Amino acid sequence: MSRRPRRSTPGSATSPHEGTPFADLVETGSVAEARAADKVRKEGKDCVMQDGDVVEFRFGV
């Protein structure tokens, strides 16, 4: 069985992580609200983290 290669382009469904600035997270009150307000960035593995980013890493187990 062959596996399909993963895409790691920014904004794709298989992005390695999502990040949002801490100030935006406090302003919205939760990660779900930050997503609804479009404050969460979906980025690929080549992105540069900013100071104060709250990050959720995604990986397949």
Report the pLDDT value the prediction gives residue 25, as an integer from 0 to 100: 93
Q: What is the pLDDT of residues 3-61, one digit of tens each?
A: 555 444 444 445 678 889 999 999 999 989 999 999 998 887 788 888 999 988 877 76
**CB-based burial, 5-33: b 16+ in 10 Å, e otherwise:** eeeeeeeeeebbbbbbbeebbeebeeeee
Q: What pLDDT score was predicted for residue 34?
A: 93
pLDDT in the model for residue 43: 81
pLDDT at 56: 84
CA–CA dist 44, 54 (Å, integer): 15
Half-sphere exposure (Cβ direction) of 11: Cα atoms closer than 13 Å: 2
Q: What angle is formed at CA 28 by the lines to CA 56 and CA 23, rounded to 5 degrees?
A: 70
